């Protein structure tokens, strides 16, 4: 009934009738709706962080192949920049990681960082104010992720969980362990997809532009009163359905922005799913998160947010931001990277590997064209990466 209703509404609005109803429906369903549509149990848990943000923590506790049960191994999936839990869900049961892990017997939890569409509320701050958006990925790592882990372990009765992060989902892990090394006891193993810390060798024109014109960009955003990047809305979804569906004259143009950020790889693009991808991404983030990455690229130092000398002296007791301490990352760590990643370049991953004290494995995806977003959206991501990831998770459960 819901599928028919959506199709009729979009028909009235003028959306191309040749678009498959499943694509239309998946573009409009949220993360929980997608899981339930394909027969997987789904839960949303709202947790309050230590500083008052209300986070939507999503859970898939079982699957048709492995029903919900007490005592299952627990895994937390953390998304990248401008993304959400949907990254691990939207490509469907034959591709996305959450289904694979649930079928393999895991109790799967998916975090949503403050500021995205599922974590866009605060106990007392209005999400249209600058005060609400006064955070970078430092706060996601130092506050959000530790609070998620505490909640998940309390709910499941487990002592430890396994962690999987993609892109910024890895960045915030380094932050958490640097700031709160206690959490090494709570993480059995950490599996990092496109691990992001240093960005000396980025090839993304967007990131290079941001780093080059960092202070101009920051001033311009302040003058415009822009504190955040909004998630997709209904107009964006309609546009994606119209412009990116199979048979659309300019469908391939729908990949350009992603390629200019992540690296070009047409081989692994599921063009049919482009309207669904564009409906769920971007999912929202603060401007400070973007600027923090620009600062890292420009300074070539992995450190806390640079507020300027005056505020740094007040916040940090010194004129420059403190560096993050990689020696505190003691949990067994697995790095999965690719040659054609324009954000987590092989040279930068190697630099990171040298600084981490407990790397158990470094895995290079065996496709030269594999890019930054292929880690979650590629057609053959299971055979190219997830089979290896699952074997490592099971060996270290």
Q: Is 339 helix (H, G, I), strand (E, B) or coil?
A: coil
Beta carbons within 8 Å of 142's beta carbon, 6+ residues apart: 175, 176, 179, 180
> What is the gyration radius of the CA atoms in the chain, in angstroms?
20
- Where would I find the H helices in 46-166? 97-103, 137-139, 145-156
Task: Give the CB-side neighbour count of residue 165, counting CA atoms within 13 A.
Answer: 29
Q: Is 155 exposed, middle or buried (0-12, 13-18, 19+ CB in 10 A)?
A: middle
- Count of helices and strands (H, E) across the chain: 18, 11
Q: Which of 31, 167, 281, 338 is catalytic?
A: 167
Beta carbons within 8 Å of 223's beta carbon, 6+ residues apart: none
Structure tokens, 104 = 């393999």
Separation CA 228–CA 289 (nearest Å): 9
Separation CA 108–CA 75 (nearest Å): 5
31 is catalytic: no
383 is catalytic: no
Q: Which of 58, 166, 337, 372 is catalytic?
A: 372
Separation CA 146–CA 138 (nearest Å): 12
Q: Is 133 exposed, middle or buried (0-12, 13-18, 19+ CB in 10 A)?
A: buried
Other C-beta atoms lying within 10 Å of the C-beta of residue 28: 19
Separation CA 323–CA 305 (nearest Å): 10
Separation CA 228–CA 380 (nearest Å): 33
Helix (H) or strand (E) holding 298: helix 287-299
Other C-beta atoms lying within 10 Å of the C-beta of residue 299: 14
Which residues are catalytic, by number? 167, 372
């Amino acid at each position: 009934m819901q599928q028919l209703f959506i199709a009729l509404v979009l028909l009235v609005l003028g959306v191309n009738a040749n678009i498959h109803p499943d694509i239309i429906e998946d573009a409009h369903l949220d993360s929980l709706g997608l899981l339930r549509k394909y027969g997987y149990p789904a839960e949303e848990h709202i947790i309050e962080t230590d500083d008052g943000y209300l986070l939507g923590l999503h859970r898939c506790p079982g699957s048709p192949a492995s029903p919900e049960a007490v005592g299952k191994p627990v895994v937390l999936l953390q998304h990248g920049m401008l993304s959400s839990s949907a990254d691990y869900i939207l490509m469907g049961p034959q591709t996305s990681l959450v289904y694979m892990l649930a079928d393999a017997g895991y109790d799967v939890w998916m975090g949503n960082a403050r500021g995205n569409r599922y974590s866009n509320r605060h106990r007392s701050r209005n999400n249209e104010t600058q005060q609400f958006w006064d955070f970078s990925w430092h706060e996601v790592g130092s506050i959000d992720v530790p609070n998620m882990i505490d909640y998940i372990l309390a709910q499941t009765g487990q002592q430890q969980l396994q962690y999987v992060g993609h892109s910024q989902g890895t960045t915030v892990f380094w932050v958490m362990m640097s700031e709160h090394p206690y959490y090494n006891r709570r993480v059995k193993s950490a599996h990092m997809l496109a691990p992001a810390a240093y960005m000396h060798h980025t090839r993304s024109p967007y990131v290079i532009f941001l780093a080059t014109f960092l202070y101009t960009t920051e001033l311009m955003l302040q003058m415009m009163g822009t504190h955040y990047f909004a998630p997709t809305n209904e107009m964006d979804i309609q546009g994606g359905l119209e412009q990116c569906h199979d048979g659309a004259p300019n469908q391939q143009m729908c990949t350009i922005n992603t390629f200019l950020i992540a690296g070009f790889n047409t081989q692994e693009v599921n063009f049919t799913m482009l309207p669904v991808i564009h409906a769920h991404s971007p999912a929202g983030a603060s401007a400070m998160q973007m600027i923090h990455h620009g600062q890292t690229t420009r300074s070539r130092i992995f450190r806390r947010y640079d507020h300027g000398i005056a505020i740094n002296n007040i916040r940090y007791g010194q004129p420059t931001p403190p560096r993050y301490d990689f020696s505190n990352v003691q949990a067994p760590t697995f790095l999965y990277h690719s040659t054609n990643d324009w954000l987590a370049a092989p040279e930068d991953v190697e630099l990171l590997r040298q600084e981490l004290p407990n790397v158990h494995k470094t895995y290079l995806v065996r496709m030269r064209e594999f890019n930054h977003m292929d880690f979650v959206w590629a057609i053959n991501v299971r055979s190219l990466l997830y089979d290896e990831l699952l074997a490592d998770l099971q060996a270290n459960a």
